[in-house]
């Protein structure tokens, strides 16, 4: 069972940037696919971005394509999400679960998430 700790969230103005990080432990990180999901207040969790185990392949929700970049460092067991040109609708709690990449389906445990608030 992989343990996940998300960090890097905060309050930012629209148009700004944030970089989220996810530290993974308890599993061989380099063989698992990962992703970022978010949950806005009063809404269901939704897929944001996914990445294959090697990092060679990525996938993005249409709403963030061109603004967000997912990456991973298998030597450090970390997953990142660079978020640029942030919009108020990007507000939510962000999570980094394992996924069934290329399917946009999370599996296994969830971390506590990191909160992102984008003000207009």
Compute how many other C-beta atoms are within 10 angstroms of the C-beta atom of residue 117. Answer: 15
Q: Encode pLDDT of 50-76 as tens digits.
A: 999 999 999 999 999 999 999 999 999
The overall average pLDDT reported for the chain is 96
Share of the chain above pLDDT 90, in %: 96
Q: Encode pLDDT of 75-96 as tens digits.
A: 999 999 999 999 999 999 999 9
Peptide bond into 75 cis (omega under 30): no
107: left (phi over 0), alpha (psi -120 to 50) or beta: beta
> Nearest CA to 42 among 113, 112, 91?
91
Quick one: pLDDT band at residue 1, thresholds 50, 70, 90?
confident
Cβ proximity of 118 and 100 under 8 Å: no
Compute CA distances 98 → 4, 84, 117, whole Å.
9, 23, 24
- Asked whether the predicted pLDDT for residue 34 surpasses 90, the reply is yes
Q: Average pLDDT for residues 2-25, to the nearest whole number?
A: 97
In this structure, what DSSP letter does residue 90 have?
Answer: G
Position 27 scores a pLDDT of: 80
């Amino acid at each position: 069972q992989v343990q996940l700790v998300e960090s890097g969230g905060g309050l930012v103005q629209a148009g700004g940037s944030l970089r989220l990080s996810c530290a993974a432990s308890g599993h061989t990180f380099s063989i698992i696919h990962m992703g970022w999901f978010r949950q806005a207040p009063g809404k269901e969790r939704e897929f944001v971005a996914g990445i294959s185990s090697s990092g060679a392949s990525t996938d993005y929700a249409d709403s963030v394509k061109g603004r967000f970049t997912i990456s991973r460092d298998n030597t450090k067991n970390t997953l990142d999400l660079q978020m640029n040109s942030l919009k108020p609708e990007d507000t939510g709690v962000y999570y980094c679960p394992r996924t069934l990449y290329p399917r946009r389906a999370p599996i296994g445990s969830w971390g506590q998430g990191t909160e992102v608030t984008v003000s207009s």
